[in-house]
Structure 1
Amino acid sequence: MVTINDIAKLAGVAKSTVSRYLNGGSVSRRTKETLDRIIKETEYVPNTFAQSLKVKQSNLIGIIIPRLNSYATNEILQSVDRCLREKSYQLLIVNTDQDVEREVENLYALSRQKVAGIILLATDVTRAHKEAMEKIGIPVLLLGQRSDATYAIVHEEEEAGAAMGRHALRLGHKKILYLGVTEKDESVGVLRKKGVMDVLKNAEGIDVQEEEVDFNFDITFRFLKEYLKDRVETYILCATDNIALAAYKASITLGRKVPEDVSISGFGGYSITDLVTPSITTVRYAYKEMGRIAAENLLRLLQGEEIPKKIALSGEFLPKESTKAL
């Protein structure tokens, strides 16, 4: 295990200089840059960190988010911030732009800033994530992804996927296009898709085609403008509302009417699905409830209380105008 003495030797400075820096004291810019680099490379976390929290717990809570332009993230953030402010805690927000390595780096970075605990909206949970959560020695609560390494709050993805699959079958569609995302994202890319496919592939006479697209609306819209030109499916089942909106815009750009020519649905329950005409069939997820439970449970952990290892929240299926029976 790397010690403060090791850091001092690698940086070529006195142990007292490293200690002063770690405790927020003043050091030169060059020394700061050197120490930042070495601490990052060695993944050093002070041995006394957990003990210092017991003596005087920080009122800072860190939250690591995958991207800023996300409806789900913003809903969760608002709920977490409101709950923490009521308890006199401050929220420190770090964005990673869906970069898995930055997620791991920020676990260490937030621990060095002496946050009391961390809420992590992970893109993926890798071995490096698990090692970081073990090393930093402070509570980490995971949102949206499942892991046996820490506490987690998730959505019932398979349940939601199955509801949407049954909806497409009830409407009599036989040719269905599923627009999914990378399977590196276990919740959306694997579990949500599994819920859909378990229903559709067990039904008789159903032709299901799959295509992987991007979470980003603009990227997916540019792709679908070309991809959908020769498609014959009557139902486009999308892994997220952003993808559904891209499919909707691409379809009408190509001269197809929704839902007369093609039905479209998504997942998420974004408010914009009610602002377009026709409104888009979706599954509304409990983002605000997730944020509230996350904040409350993290504070319970900090008080030494027991909380459930995993909590799963059900979504609400919302059939709207963008899907219709053949």
Structure 2
Amino acid sequence: MLCFEERNRKKRGEPMITITDIANKAGVAKSTVSRYLNGGSVSPKTKMKIEKIIKETGYKPNPFAQSLKARRTNLIGTIIPRLDSYSTNEALTAIDEELRKKNRQHMITNSNQDPLIEVENIYTLAKQKVDGILLFAGAITDAHRVAFQKIDIPIVVLGQSVDGRACIIHNDEQAGYEMGSYIRELGHERILLLTVTEADIAIGQRRKKGIIRALQENSNCTWTSHETSFVFDEAYEDCKKIIQKTDATAIICLTDTIALAAMKAIHELGLKIPNDFSLSGFGGYAAGQIVTPPITTVHYPYKKLGKLAVQTLLQSMDGGEVPELQVLSNSLHIQESTSGYHQQLDA
């Protein structure tokens, strides 16, 4: 039965008060409000704050929704950006292993790097009555935020950060800075950046920002930036056109996939790595270490990400407090695809 305030909101066509609204007004996590409503442990100060807001808003828990939540399916949904992503597959392996240990079933959907499909998959998994969702996000749009509010089940966002949600990201700006500093210290002053769309905040913005911040520490450094694709074949076609026109001595690719595409284009142009170009990437992909020469890269702990993602989601599902943002560190791996500028001149 609707309370007086809820009936008035419905008549006025206003949205009903949700647990998320209560959490936002109280300045606490949604899991904290959920724990309070289900009789869990909450500090006296937080309890008073939540009780006051519930009284002011006239919020009433939905008994039907609560009964649905009580019926666990032991099914976890994971949304991945594409099927041929090395980084995603590494993390996915760890996710699957962790869920199996916890006796959870696993459903995987592919968005094919389309934000609309990604949002559609959120609703699809919710209809499948999953207990929680792990989302490898390309870019967080308004449609994503609406979906998060509507489905009202635990979600952990991986790779991107969004306010009000549990997120696990890599320290991309620091990774970019370390790579940019290394290339700068090798003496390179003309650098080509092969980047991706800025809609991808982690890679297209933060990683690129770190590189440029490092290059700016040498006033003689200049760089040009060209946007390309995450997909190998598309990046390769772009690289063939871009590389034959550049006067750069070092090429920094924002993913290892792009670096591999650039390597293929460089070889086909009759040029050599690192004699003509120092080449580097990001990711630590296995393929980048079996080519000749192996590619200098920043290694990311994808399996650690997957394990932490499961731990965070299950904790959130049980009503526990989880950090809104967890940041994983990375490490620069120097290989034979990079050399000093003066070594190039002597080659």
Give the TM-score, by structure 2 length.
Answer: 0.79
Q: Which residue of structure 2 aligns with residue 305 of structure 1?
A: 320
Distance 1:232 1:112, change over 3 A: same
Residue of 195, 203, 217 corresponding to 1:202:
217
- Cα distance per residue 1:281-321 (max 9 Å; x no partner): 00010100000000011111111111111100011110100
Q: Which residue of structure 2 aligns with residue 76 of structure 1?
A: 91
Conserved? CA contact 2:288–2:294, under 8 Å: yes
Shift of 1:106: 1.2
- Cα distance per residue 1:253-289 (max 9 Å; x no partner): 1111100111000000001111001100000101000
- CA distance in structure 2 between the partners assigned to 1:94 and 1:150 by the alignment: 20
- CA distance in structure 2 between the partners assigned to 1:154 and 1:227 by the alignment: 31
Q: Which residue of structure 1 aligns with residue 339 of structure 2?
A: 324
Q: Which residue of structure 2 aligns with residue 218 of structure 1?
A: 233
Tell me, what secondary structure is at the counterpart of 1:230? Answer: coil
Shift of 1:109: 1.0
The sequence identity of aligned pairs, in percent, is 47
| Residue 197 of structure 2 is aligned to residue 144 of structure 1 | no
Q: Which runs of 5+ in 1 are unaligned?
A: 2-46
- CA distance in structure 2 between the partners assigned to 1:114 and 1:158 by the alignment: 37
Residue of 247, 260, 270 corresponding to 1:255:
270
Q: Which residue of structure 2 aligns with residue 128 of structure 1?
A: 143
Backbone CA RMSD of aligned residues? 1.2
- CA distance in structure 2 between the partners assigned to 1:49 and 1:124 by the alignment: 33
Conserved? CA contact 1:145–1:153, under 8 Å: yes
Q: Which runs of 5+ in 2 are unaligned?
A: 1-15, 17-61, 342-347
| Residue 289 of structure 2 is aligned to residue 284 of structure 1 | no
Residue of 124, 128, 134 corresponding to 1:119:
134
Q: Which residue of structure 1 aligns with residue 76 of structure 2?
A: 61
- CA distance in structure 2 between the partners assigned to 1:173 and 1:49 by the alignment: 64
| Residue 177 of structure 2 is aligned to residue 182 of structure 1 | no
Residue correspondences, number: 281
Tell me, what secondary structure is at the counterpart of 1:152? Answer: strand
Give the TM-score, by structure 1 length.
Answer: 0.84
Q: Which residue of structure 1 aligns with residue 179 of structure 2?
A: 164
| Residue 256 of structure 2 is aligned to residue 241 of structure 1 | yes
- CA distance in structure 2 between the partners assigned to 1:282 and 1:202 by the alignment: 21
- CA distance in structure 1 between the partners assigned to 2:321 and 2:204 by the alignment: 31
Bigger drift between 279-288 and 199-208 goes to 199-208
Conserved? CA contact 1:151–1:310, under 8 Å: yes
The one-letter amino acid paired with 1:220 is A
Structure 1 stretches of 4+ with a deviation exceeding 2 A read 47-50, 52-55
Q: Which residue of structure 1 aligns with residue 279 of structure 2?
A: 264
Tell me, what secondary structure is at the counterpart of 2:113? Answer: coil
Q: Which residue of structure 1 aligns with residue 20 of structure 2?
A: none
Shift of 1:57: 1.1
